[in-house]
Structure 1
Amino acid sequence: MKTTLILGAGFSKNSGVPIQSEIPALLTKARENNDFENRVSLVMEGFLRDVFGFEKDIYPELDDLLTCMDISTNSEHHLGIKYSPIHLRALKRLIIYRIFSILEDSFTYSREVDKLIRFFIEHGLEDTGFLVLNWDTVLEKYISMIDPGIVIDYCNGGKYLTEDGRFKEKRNEDRRIKVVKVHGSCNWLYCDNCRVLINDTLSRMPNIRKIGFKKSDFELFDEMKELADRIFLEDIRCFICGDNVSAHIATQSYRKSFRTNSFPDIWDRAEDMLTNSEKWVFIGYSLPQADYEFKHLLKICELKLRHRKERKLSIDVVLLNSETATNKYRSFFGNKINRIFNGGIGEYMNYLQST
């Protein structure tokens, strides 16, 4: 592997997907002519008001919101009298459902992103890998548009959900591209019983089915009680053991859980990809403090074989008008950075096409 592209939220922002700081305002957004979605918004609004003193246009940060919920549920404590661990677990499923819907519905085509992905695909699948920190499937959409014959290898040991609803091992086609998603993906499903991971590469499973909702989740909230008997939630069953499967992600929290069965393997693959690359290209990633574990991984991979390599690791950074993120990179990598492009993907593509 010669080049690893490390994609952050800014990469997806080019295709209309909101960045993390924009998501809290969208959690409470009402939708016309959709009773279920509007009731979800009311539950979200009530929770933000009760716990975070929500007022119009003043929202808690997503990290704070999810970290408070995770610490309370993991320690079996309330967040105030109204929100027991049972309520908080149901609320977290609603929040993840809403985030998945936002990621899916906001995608718009970007010619610049298309040109970027096309450039690296045409320069050799075997030489390029993608390390993605986002849950969305923006990258997968472009790969499919550019060449539907390319097989996405998530490097997670999972099975693959096919067009006819069957499950199979990953395919052995020659045209394969490695995509490692260290925080999980909105098109992954996981069985808590036999611990199999299922990749819904084509995103055929609707969000409301893959979150793992239970009827009791809706009965906990006054705004949704009357919907509990009207919403048909057909469980997704594991093809190995028959238990329910549901979404498999590490949430934006200072208490991300990387201890489940698949995440250690995924992080091992990420380490291999980074260690064996000659070039890292960061695109739209701001080195946030909450990603301290990933930043530590970067530093390990940068240093551990540096004394044995003939060629120095080359690091390019692609940002958009962000001096703050530029300073973070300079303080973290120092003089090891090759180039920083603060004019976005367009500036970076102009450079690639001129060399």
Structure 2
Amino acid sequence: MKSASTNITRQGSQTSGSILATISSLNYTDLGYLNIEIGENPKDTEMTGYINHLGNYDRYLEGNFSIRFLENDTLVEYINCYAIELEQDQGLRFIVPKGDIRVLKVSKNNENQTQKMIKQIQNLMSSRQYGNIVFVMGAGASIDVLPGGADLLRKMLEADPHTEICRFITDVFKADIKKEEVPFPSFNQVLNVIDIALEREEGFSAEYSLESLRKLKKNMIGELRKYLIDRANPNVDNSYTELAQQLKAFKEKSGKISFITLNYDLYLDEALNKVFGTEFLEYVLPFQSLNDNGKGNDIQNTGEKENLNKIKIIKLHGSLDWLICPTCFNAFRVSENLHKALSRRTCPADHTELKEFLFPPTKERIEVHSHWTSLQGVADQLLRQADKVVFIGFSLSEDDAHFRFKLKKHLHRPENPVYIQVVSREKKEFDIATDAVSWNYWQFFGPIDYRPIGFKLFSKHPY
């Protein structure tokens, strides 16, 4: 065996000239000094090493953890480490399984700045324990199962070319589904324009009157729902399911988990229901279930069985299986066959036609619904109480100005700093200064734990 760095020597319980590294599990972070022993080809064999001078060794004796350090121009991450023993003089001895190593080259363009920023992050990593974790899920979290951005709307219309929607996009956005070289708008961009027009009660033209815009919105949501339902398969595991399974042990030890999702799709719902069961999930709002014969039944979401340590799911922009009665304002979740139930969507109480329960991201909000206000209030509370927030697939876009304000207000806590972790798509080179996602977060929050490893890998090792 040989040392990973020729200048590492041990002196009792501390290491002179060793590598400063961050060690983290799902609910702990620490700084330590690293001494790695590797074989001739570390990618083809297990690695062993020591990490010492930690705030608390015992917390890493069970479960897995990751170790990250900066060596010259390379950010190295050992992903799935586990402890094998605690030695009094040398510290925590651990193993890195075969192949669980990520090497990310630091871009030469901004090498000095990137290295300084990584060291700032390390300086913030004190010995901490996390018992209240909030996951914020953006569109990028579903990228493995759904097209992202403008591709989603294009693919949806390619699967079922809806004449009225295509004509509106061509007329208003000057985009053509048949011309791939022409930029195409995203689903939210189109829906946002329609929504603001309806809120202001301003039609676009004689052709696109308020009535035609209402019909267009209904058709767009109907087509999206159909596209997602046709591709949904709750029996197939994905990254959402993997993450839920990894979180199970943390929750069983009384850890608090919550989700704030900005997505309309049902992949998160299906994964959590599959792993934890419906009785452990709480959607906050007083929903009634709408089954496939059009009848509604109460869903007990709050006030009962508080000892279950329920997982709160806040769908800030609504959901494809949510409907609302514009007369009595009862809210419904479709509990059985989605296609069949939505074809008979009248309120069981007053027989009014139910409306879609969606709130696309906007830079302004002229009129809000009381249920939307309730969702916002609970999201505010979760963010204020969290000691760790994990963003997955969320670019911190300025399009969602309301949510950005919420994040700034509730996560700005100098007296009790929140640990912010950002998971973005996998990258081969690390340049925190020019990468749009990392720079957005850095400008907005300051130093954050940036993980360009993709949701698929993170879901297997969420630390």
Band the TM-score falls in, shorter-chain normalisation: 0.7 to 0.9
Aligned match of 1:48: 169
Partner of 1:190: 324
- CA 1:87–1:153: 2 relative to 1, 3 Å: same
Cα offset for 1:176?
Answer: 2.9
Aligned to 2:97: none
* Paired residues for 1:304-315 under 5 Å: 306-307=414-415, 309=416, 312-315=417-420
CA contact (8 A) 2:296 2:332 kept: no
Q: Which residue of 1 aligns with 2:257?
A: 128
- The answer as to 2:284 corresponding to 1:179 is no
Correspondence for 1:215: none
Q: Matched residues in 2 for 1:203 and 1:286: separation?
A: 33
Match of 1:141 in 2: 270
CA-CA distance at 1:87 after TM superposition: 0.9
Among candidates 338, 341, 344, match of residue 451 of structure 2: 341
Instruction: State whether structure 2 residue 439 is matched by structure 1 residue 327.
Output: yes
Aligned partners of 1:287 and 1:295 also within 8 Å: yes
TM-superposed CA distance for 1:247, in Å, is: 1.5
1:237 Cα shift?
A: 1.7
| SS of equivalent to 1:121 | helix
**Deviation of 1:352 (Å):** 4.1
**3-state SS, counterpart of residue 258 of structure 2:** strand
Size of the alignment, in residue pairs? 313
Q: 1:278 deviation in Å?
A: 0.9
2:347 corresponds to: 237
Change (3 A) 1:306 1:198: farther
Distance 1:266 1:64 in 2: 22
Instruction: Report what 1:106 is aligned to.
Output: 231
Task: Give unmatched runs, 5+ long, in structure 2.
Answer: 1-130, 428-434
Greater mean alpha carbon deviation, residues 66-75 or residues 134-143? 66-75
Following TM superposition, by how much is the alpha carbon of 1:265 offset from its aligned partner in structure 2, in angstroms?
A: 0.8
- Distance 1:330-1:203 versus aligned 2 partners, 3 A rule: farther
Describe the shift of the 1:102–1:128 C-alpha distance in structure 2 as closer, same or farther (beyond 3 A). Answer: same
| Contact 2:322–2:357 (Cα < 8 Å) also in 1 | yes
CA distance change for structure 1 residues 341 and 280 in 2, over 3 Å: closer, same or farther?
same
Q: Counting helix residues as a fraction of each chain, which structure ranks higher?
A: 1
SS of residue paired to 1:290:
coil
**CA 1:183–1:67 in 2, change beyond 3 Å: closer, same or farther?**
closer
* Contact kept? 1:70, 1:255, Cα under 8 Å: no
Match of 1:66 in 2: 191
1:19 correspondence with 2:148: yes
Shift, 1:256, TM fit: 5.1
Matched, 1:168 2:278: no
Secondary structure at 1:123's aligned position in 2? helix
CA contact (8 A) 1:143 1:150 kept: no
**What is the alpha-carbon distance in structure 2 between the residues aligned to residue 235 and residue 101 of structure 1?**
15
* Mean CA deviation greater in 96-105 or 263-272: 96-105
> Structure 1, residues 135-178: CA drift from partner, whole Å, max 9, x if none?
11111111222243544211123334468844114153536321
AA of the residue aligned to 2:265: D
Cα offset for 1:245? 1.8
User: Would you say the 8 A contact 1:130–1:178 is kept in 2?
Assistant: yes
Q: Aligned-pair distance for 1:42? A: 1.9
Matched position secondary structure for 2:243: helix
For the residues of structure 2 that align with 1:352 and 1:250, how far apart are their CA atoms?
Answer: 30
Q: Residue 296 in 1 paired to residue 405 in 2?
A: yes
SS in structure 1 of the partner of residue 446 of structure 2:
helix
- 1:45, distance to aligned residue in structure 2 (A): 1.8
Which residue of 1 is the match for residue 216 of structure 2?
91
Shift in Å at residue 107 of structure 1? 3.7
Question: Compared with structure 1, are the counterparts of its residues 192 and 118 closer, same or farther at alpha carbon in structure 2 (3 Å cutoff)?
Answer: same
Q: How does 1:248-327 map to 2 (within 5 A)?
A: 248-255=357-364, 259-303=368-412, 306-307=414-415, 309=416, 312-321=417-426, 323-327=435-439
Moved more, 78-87 or 272-281: 78-87
Q: Matches of 1:320 and 1:51 in 2, distance apart?
A: 32
Q: Distance in 1 between matches of 2:246 and 2:345?
A: 41
For residues 283 and 203 of structure 1, the distance between their equivalents in structure 2, rounded to whole angstroms, comes to: 29
Instruction: Evaluate the alpha carbon distance shift between residue 258 and residue 10 of structure 1 in structure 2; reply closer, same or farther with a 3 A threshold.
Output: farther
Q: Give the counterpart letter for 1:119 in structure 2.
A: Q
Residue 320 of structure 2 aligns with an amino acid whose one-letter code is C
Q: Distance in 2 between matches of 1:142 and 1:29?
A: 28
Q: Which runs of 5+ in 1 are unaligned?
A: 32-37, 211-232
Aligned position for 2:245: 118
Provide closer, same or farther for how the CA distance between residues 53 and 352 of structure 1 changes in structure 2, counting only shifts above 3 A.
closer
- The alignment's TM-score, normalised by the length of structure 1, stands at 0.78
Q: What is the one-letter code of the residue matched to 2:249?
A: E
Residue pair 2:137, 2:262 contacting (<8 A) in 1 also? yes
The runs of at least 4 consecutive aligned structure 1 residues that moved more than 6 Å come to none
Partner residue of 1:4 out of 115, 119, 134: 134
Q: CA deviation at 1:332?
A: 0.9
- The aligned residue for residue 214 of structure 1 is none
TM-superposed deviation, 1:102: 2.4
Gap change, CA 1:99 and 1:352, over 3 Å in 2: closer
Specify which structure has the bigger relative contact order, considering alpha-carbon pairs within 8 angstroms and separated by 6 or more residues.
1
Structure 2 residue 265 is matched with structure 1 residue 153: no
Q: Bigger radius of gyration, 1 or 2?
A: 2
Measured in 2, the distance between the counterparts of 1:352 and 1:71 equals 38
CA shift, 1:98, in A, is 1.2
Provide the C-alpha distance between the structure 2 equivalents of 1:169 and 1:79, rounded to a whole number of angstroms: 40
For residues 308-345 of structure 1, give each alpha carbon's deviation from its aligned partner in whole angstroms, at most 9, with x where no partner exists.
Answer: x4xx311111111472111111111112x2x2110113
> Could you give the per-residue CA deviations for residues 16-38 of structure 1, whole angstroms, max 9, x where no partner exists?
1222322231343244xxxxxx5
2:202 maps to 1:82: no
* Alignment partners' CA distance in 2, 1:175 and 1:332: 32
Contact 1:131/1:180 (<8 A) preserved: yes
CA contact (8 A) 1:180 1:266 kept: yes
Conserved 8 A contact 1:154-1:179: yes
Same amino acid, percent of matched pairs: 21
